[in-house]
């Protein structure tokens, strides 16, 4: 029987990530997300996802160095970005820039595992630069050279704002990057694996993934959430607004999930972060409005908040422009996409499912003059 949206269909094996939708657990290569969010760093998680185990000290230093020294993007790509329409969507720019970067990658025509790991390293290092530079270009700010003394999270904030990133913001982004790093065969990862399975190149697979993440049923949901909160603005109007949306059978972004039928473990962390940031920044209203919506939607629709619901208020309070929320998701998911593309290449078979034909049969061609 055909299942719309391939719901619950197991489409392959993978040792990268396990999503337990019943228990609400998320595991990267055997490690629980709660453990990683509390103790690890994004750079360590990148290694874990790509190599299947935690790095030792020298391995961590090596991957960290690769992720720090490859941040610069080719001048031609920056030049092309300067020529893009200033109202281009950041996800459009990211998709196009990543596609362009393949032509400047020194391993462009190399297909071996080592070359693909180098490509994964470069792209994971470069995607934050593209996102920050686009915001600089469209707002007329200087594109600062990436720094090699900061983590991915810290350097992204530095390039975006031009200021020394504070510890709380860096830590918050770092944890958000860990939480979004991988999620099994989500739509964008599946798209990447399908592209890789044709033995197309690494950048093509990532470009397909970025285009897929952009949709509002997937990574685009976090931007939709903040737009809803900003539209409501006045906490007293929260419930009337949300009730109206439900009455009109509109979907509330940031709720529901194809796999989780209980609390999304990533939302647990982001909810806490949203509350803590709200207190520190004296902007608790975003958390409070979110909490009210969350409790109502759970009671009314039985739907839980997903990763995108509280990440919206977290990013907003960190001063990230709202249309960069999905690109920030992409900065993180670069690690998971890369892991899956590498895994796909390692034991490849073309992904080519079938469709159940429900169209017409036995029609006869008639010339256009007689139609
Ligand atoms: C995530 C999502 C795409 C999963 O989709 P899915 O498994 O195909 O589930 P469906 O869209 O078929 O939804 C099943 C039912 O729940 C309802 N529903 C699901 N998510 C809902 C939401 N966010 N708000 C209101 N109703 C929702 C649907 O309307 C549908 O109701 P119906 O059976 O009465 O028609 C879906 O929950 C959604 O659109 N959420 C909002 C976007 C979002 O936050 N995406 C990020 C995911 S991490």
Residue pLDDT tens, the chain, 371 long: 788 999 999 999 999 999 999 999 999 999 999 999 999 999 999 999 999 999 999 999 999 999 999 999 999 999 999 999 999 999 999 999 999 999 999 999 999 999 999 999 999 999 999 999 999 999 999 999 999 999 999 999 999 999 999 999 999 999 999 999 999 999 999 999 999 999 999 999 999 999 999 999 999 999 999 999 999 999 999 999 999 999 999 999 999 999 999 999 999 999 999 999 999 999 999 999 999 999 999 999 999 999 999 999 999 999 999 999 999 999 999 999 999 999 999 999 999 999 999 999 999 999 999 99
Residue with tokens 């994004």, as numbered in its chain:
42
- Closest residue CA from atom 37 of ligand 1: 256
Residue among 325, 318, 323, 312 nearest 286 (CA) = 312
Q: What is the pLDDT of residue 1?
A: 78
pLDDT tens digits along 318-344: 999 999 999 999 999 999 999 999 999
What are 110's two structure tokens?
A: 């190399």
Q: What is the pLDDT of residue 169?
A: 96
The single-letter DSSP state of residue 369 is: G
**CATH architecture for segment(s) 14-217+325-346:** Orthogonal Bundle (1.10)
Residue among 248, 237, 257 nearest 302 (CA) = 257
Q: What is the pLDDT of residue 370?
A: 96
> Rounded CA gap, 190 and 10, in Å?
12
> Rounded CA gap, 122 and 72, in Å?
9
> Rounded CA gap, 123 and 120, in Å?
5
The per-residue b/e assignment along 10-23, b for 16 or more CB within 10 angstroms, e otherwise, is eeeebebbebebee
The number of the ligand 1 atom at minimal distance from the alpha carbon of 4 is 8
> CATH classification of 221-317, choosing from 1.10.10.60, 3.90.1150.10, 1.10.230.10, 3.40.395.10?
1.10.230.10
> Rounded CA gap, 28 and 23, in Å?
15
In order, the DSSP letters of 132-194 are HHHHHHHTT---PPPPSSS-HHHHHHHHHHSSPPPHHHHHHHHHHHHHHS--TT-HHHHHHHH
- Closest residue CA from atom 25 of ligand 1: 251
Q: What is the pLDDT of residue 2?
A: 86
Instruction: Give residues (CB < 6 A) around ligand 1.
Output: 5, 217-218, 221, 251-258, 301, 303, 306-308
Segments making up each domain of the chain, as ranges: 14-217+325-346, 221-317
The number of the ligand 1 atom at minimal distance from the alpha carbon of 306 is 48
Cα 159 versus chain centre, distance? 19
Cα–ligand 1 centroid distance for 294 (angstroms): 14
Q: Can you give the length of the chain in residues?
A: 371
Q: What is the pLDDT of residue 346?
A: 97
Residues classed as catalytic = 257, 308
The number of the ligand 1 atom at minimal distance from the alpha carbon of 250 is 25
Cα–ligand 1 centroid distance for 184 (angstroms): 19
Which of 251, 266, 294 for mutating ligand 1's site (highest number of atoms within 8 Å of CB)? 251
Using the Cα atoms of residue 81, residue 203, residue 31 and residue 326 in order, give the sign of their dihedral.
positive
Cα–ligand 1 centroid distance for 268 (angstroms): 19
> Rounded CA gap, 214 and 222, in Å?
11
> Residue 255 pairs with which residues in a beta bridge?
305
- Closest residue CA from atom 7 of ligand 1: 258
């Amino acid at each position: 029987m055909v299942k719309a949206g391939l719901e619950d269909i197991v489409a392959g094996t993978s040792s990268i990530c396990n999503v337990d939708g019943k228990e609400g657990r998320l595991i990267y290569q055997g490690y629980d997300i709660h453990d990683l969010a509390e103790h690890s760093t994004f750079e360590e998680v990148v290694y874990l996802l790509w190599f299947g185990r935690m790095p030792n000290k020298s391995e961590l230093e090596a991957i960290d160095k690769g992720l720090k020294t490859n941040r610069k993007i080719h001048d031609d790509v920056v030049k092309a970005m300067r020529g893009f329409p200033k109202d281009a969507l950041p996800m459009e720019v990211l998709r196009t820039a990543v596609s362009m970067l393949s032509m400047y990658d020194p391993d462009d025509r190399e297909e071996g595992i080592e070359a693909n790991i180098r490509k994964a390293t470069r792209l994971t290092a470069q995607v934050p630069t593209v996102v920050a530079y686009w915001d600089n270009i469209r707002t007329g700010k200087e594109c600062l050279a990436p720094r090699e003394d900061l983590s991915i999270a810290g350097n992204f904030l530095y390039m975006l704002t031009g200021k020394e990133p504070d510890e709380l913001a860096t830590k918050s982004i770092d944890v958000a990057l860990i939480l979004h790093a991988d999620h099994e065969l989500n739509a964008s990862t599946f798209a990447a694996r399908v592209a890789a399975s044709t033995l197309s190149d690494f950048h093509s697979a990532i470009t397909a993934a970025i285009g897929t993440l952009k949709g509002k049923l997937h990574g685009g949901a976090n931007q939709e959430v903040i737009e809803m909160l900003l539209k409501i603005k006045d906490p007293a109007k929260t419930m009337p607004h949300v009730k109206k949306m439900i009455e009109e059978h509109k979907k509330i972004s940031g709720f529901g999930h194809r796999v989780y039928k209980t609390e999304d473990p990533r939302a647990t962390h982001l909810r806490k972060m949203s509350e803590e940031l709200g207190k520190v920044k004296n902007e608790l209203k975003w958390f409070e409005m979110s909490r009210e919506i969350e409790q109502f939607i759970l009671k009314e629709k039985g739907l839980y908040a997903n990763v995108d619901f509280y990440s919206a208020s977290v990013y907003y309070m960190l001063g990230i422009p709202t249309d960069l929320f999905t690109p920030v998701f992409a900065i993180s998911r670069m690690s998971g996409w890369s892991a899956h593309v590498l895994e796909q290449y390692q034991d490849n078979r073309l992904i080519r499912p079938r469709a159940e034909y429900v169209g017409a049969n036995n029609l006869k061609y008639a010339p256009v003059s007689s139609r």
